Amino acid sequence: MTQRRKPRKYTDEFREEAVKLVTEQGYTITEAAKSLGITTKLLYNWKDKFAKQASGEALSKDERAEKGKQAFADGT
């Protein structure tokens, strides 16, 4: 039987630098992902996440936690 791989953990700094390869240094998603040994899907997700954060659309971890606490307190 084959074992499942454990998901790799990437630091926020690694993710940010990976996105910068595409947004600031002109690499394509495919080139950057291949050079970093990650999937293009992962890099697309990170790029979208950072774009949302930059535009203010995404909630921070603290904001999500606070929203969850409020929902729990309200019973929703």
- Summarize pLDDT for 32-64 with one digit per residue, the tens: 999 999 999 999 999 999 998 888 776 666 776
Task: Report yes or no on 54 lying in a domain.
Answer: yes
Total domains present in the chain: 1
Q: Is residue 6 included in any domain, yes or no?
A: no
pTM over 0.85: no
Q: Domain containing 31: what range? A: 12-74
- Residue 5 domain flag: no
CA–chain centroid gap for 40, Å, is 12
59: DSSP letter: P
35: in domain: yes
In a domain, 19, yes or no: yes
Among the listed residues 45, 20, 24, 42, the one whose alpha carbon sits nearest the alpha carbon of residue 33: 42
Residue 2 lies in a domain: no
